[in-house]
Amino acid sequence: MSITQRYAVIGNPIAHSRSPEIHAAFAQQFNIDLSYERILAPLGGFSDCVKEMRAVGFLGANVTVPFKLDAFAYADERSSAAQWAGAANTLVLGDRVLADNTDGFGIVRDIIHNLNTPLSGRRILLLGAGGAARGTLQALLLQKPKMIVVKNRSLDKAQAWLKDVQRTADFAEVLGDAHLMVRAWDDDAMDDFDVVINATASGLGDFFAPPSGVCFADKALAYDMMYGKVTPFLQWAIDNHALTADGWGMLVEQAAKSFSIWHGVTPDTSTLIANPPYKGA
């Protein structure tokens, strides 16, 4: 008789999370006896929550807002991806705790594999300098783009982030020949971009003030990390004749990477990606 393996996603709020359904679908592919729960941790109570989970035999956890920084700090070991992000969305729980960040893998896999959009040699605009943006920069740079421009409403915040990144041990190796720069949101220096990624929370509202100086190249892709509706960012991109995608594929692919870290096998993601839960809604 198999022993049920226990995993969870930790957040606050957490009731909306699709992670249990995604991981249940992955487990079915390999006949893994898996329990995957939503855990609502109290603000300020992340460490105690994980301690209790370890005590009752949980083997791993995904971590969502607002605890990704807490997860990074809690761990005994941190992957390169987690170090670049300064945050973790995946924990391996054992005698020691390993922190990883699969967000960058998720978005790159979705863009290249599912959306058939190459990133090598491309001009990328990354909107935002918060946790979502930080989780993706290393993975984007590893694809050897021509340049990445970060635009943020707070230029000081973006510049401070860039200084942090430049202190990362493998920064020069990861950067390669790419040009990495930050610009103010209203900087009107004009550039054509092949890929524009929205890592801001603008999708939660009904208004998006486009950054200055942005032109979409021919057949450019506009990618919003939010999913479930046509956000104001995506509508702006549509109005400018760009191709568009939301973050459902990123969510599924980052979950698949977490699953692979925990179980040593890589699930097929195509069925889940082709059938988002909001399709037809």
Residues forming the active site: 68
> Is 254 within any annotated ligand binding site?
yes
Check whether 247 is labelled as a binding-site residue.
yes
- 130 annotated ligand-binding residue: yes
**Which residue has 């960058």 as its token pair?**
104
Q: SS3 of 115, please?
A: coil
The response to whether 213 counts as a known ligand-binding position is no
> How far is the CA of 90 from the CAs of 72, 97, 193, in angstroms?
9, 10, 31
* Residue 64 counted as an annotated binding residue: yes
Contact 141, 171 (CB under 8 A): no
Rounded Cα–Cα distance for residues 247 and 200 (Å): 12
**Tokens representing residue 114 in the block:** 């599912």
Tell me: is residue 166 an annotated ligand-binding position.
no
Q: Does the annotation place 17 within a ligand binding site? A: yes
Is 83 annotated in a binding site? The answer is: no
CA atoms within 13 A on the CB side of 182: 19
- The secondary element (H helix, E strand) that includes residue 137 is helix 137-141
Q: Are 91 and 75 in contact (CB under 8 A)?
A: yes
Confirm or deny that 225 is annotated as ligand binding: yes
- Which residues lie below 8 Å from residue 94, measured CB to CB, with a gap of 6+? 59
Helix (H) or strand (E) holding 270: helix 270-274
Q: How many whole angstroms separate alpha carbon 277 and alpha carbon 144?
A: 33
Which strands sit side by side in the sheet containing 90-93, from one edge to the other? 34-40, 5-11, 60-63, 90-93, 97-100, 77-78
- The amino acid occupying position 272 is L
1 is in an annotated binding site: no
For residue 54, count CB atoms less than 10 angstroms from its CB and return exposed for 0-12, middle for 13-18, buried for 19 or more. Answer: middle
Does 194 count as an annotated binding residue? no
d(CA 61, CA 59): 7
Binding site per annotation, positions: 17-19, 64, 89, 103, 128-132, 225, 227, 247, 254
Binding site per annotation, positions for shikimate: 17-19, 64, 89, 103, 227, 254
Binding site per annotation, positions for NADP(+): 128-132, 225, 247
